[in-house]
């Protein structure tokens, strides 16, 4: 999922701006940078959640003492440096977005999760910024780097960010529902702890529905081909079926299952986008099937 997201963002941005595949070196740098940025936040969050994971996920490396907290923090720092170097090389605007995203997700990991049931909000915002940062590497806004290919941020990029944001709220809260026992024991007032898993399941389903609608808007505004729409609709329909099943079975275990299923949804959706954009570039008549 975390490789497919930056890859899809880079390919779509390049296709819509210059109509060709991106420079392979720049593409590889963008994918590695995006992956490093996302992974660094995962590692840092694990460092902040050791006490909670002792209850919820005792087999994790930090909890089971396979890795020290100091080692994990150094690894998170290394990943952030890799992401920063990639962003600065590609476009300073991408680096600004990276810094905003890292600060936002750090607020969640270090502070918000222990303070408010709205702690999931900065997580979605941070992950919604990831495709924006990748997009700017191939389609500069024209503020810190030229050339600009028109608008500061075109509609497909905006819907891509919104799709990530909303689906991540559903994705994150289903995982938090899995962790409700440890969060309650450690005094973390998360959404499931505050309102219960049944209410969380309904909110999660709504977030997934909004995110899936945004995924369709990506294809409409970008005017891409049928493979993407087929993948987005099939994966989206399957994800909604799983979400409604979570409503019927609002348990910690079902929330954890939905969390993993959300990763599979994104992988399939972004895989469809990657294949579709490549066909649009290499077979010009393909994009004309629907438009």
pLDDT tens per residue, range 56-92: 788 888 888 898 999 999 999 999 999 999 999 999 9
Q: What average pLDDT does the chain have?
A: 93
Q: How far apart are CA 239 and CA 126, in angstroms?
A: 22
Closest CA to 61 of 36, 38, 79, 43: 43
Could you give all domains of the chain from N- to C-terminal order, each with its CATH number?
3-282 (1.10.600)
* Cα Dmax for the chain: 58
Distances (CA, A) of 66 to 52, 182, 286: 17, 21, 50
Query: What confidence tens digit (pLDDT) does each residue in 12-30 have?
Result: 999 999 999 999 999 999 9
Over residues 119-156, the pLDDT tens digits come to 999 999 999 999 999 999 999 998 888 776 667 899 99
Peptide bond into 147 cis (omega under 30): yes
How confident is the model at residue 149, as a pLDDT?
Answer: 66
Percentage of the chain with pLDDT > 70? 99
Task: Give the number of other CB atoms < 10 A from CB of residue 70.
Answer: 9
What string of DSSP letters covers 185-212? HTT---HHHHH-HHHHHHHHHHHHHHHH
């Amino acid at each position: 999922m975390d490789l497919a997201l930056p890859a899809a963002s880079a390919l779509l941005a390049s296709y819509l701006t210059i109509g060709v595949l991106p420079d392979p070196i720049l593409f590889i740098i963008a994918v590695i940078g995006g992956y490093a940025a996302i992974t660094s936040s995962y590692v840092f969050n694990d460092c902040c959640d050791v006490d909670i994971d002792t209850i919820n996920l005792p087999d994790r490396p930090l909890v089971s003492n396979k890795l020290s907290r100091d080692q994990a923090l150094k690894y998170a720092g290394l990943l952030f440096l890799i992401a920063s170097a990639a962003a600065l090389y590609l476009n300073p605007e991408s680096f600004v977005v990276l810094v905003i995203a890292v600060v936002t997700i750090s607020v969640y990991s270090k502070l918000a999760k222990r303070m408010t049931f709205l702690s999931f909000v900065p997580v979605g915002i941070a992950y919604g910024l990831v495709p924006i940062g990748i997009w700017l590497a191939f389609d500069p806004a024209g503020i810190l780097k030229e050339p600009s290919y028109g608008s500061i941020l075109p509609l497909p990029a905006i819907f891509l960010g919104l799709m990530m944001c909303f689906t991540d709220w559903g994705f994150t809260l289903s995982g938090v529902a899995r962790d409700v026992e440890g969060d309650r024991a450690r005094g973390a007032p998360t959404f499931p702890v505050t309102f219960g898993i049944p209410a969380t399941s309904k909110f999660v389903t709504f977030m997934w529905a909004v995110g899936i609608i945004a995924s369709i808007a990506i294809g409409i505004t970008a005017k891409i081909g049928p493979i993407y729409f087929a993948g987005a609709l099939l994966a989206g329909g399957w994800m909604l079926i799983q979400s409604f099943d979570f409503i019927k079975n609002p348990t910690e275990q079902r929330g954890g299952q939905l969390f993993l299923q959300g990763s599979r949804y994104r992988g399939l959706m972004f895989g469809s986008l990657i294949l579709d954009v490549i066909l649009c570039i290499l077979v010009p008549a393909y994009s004309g099937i629907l438009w």
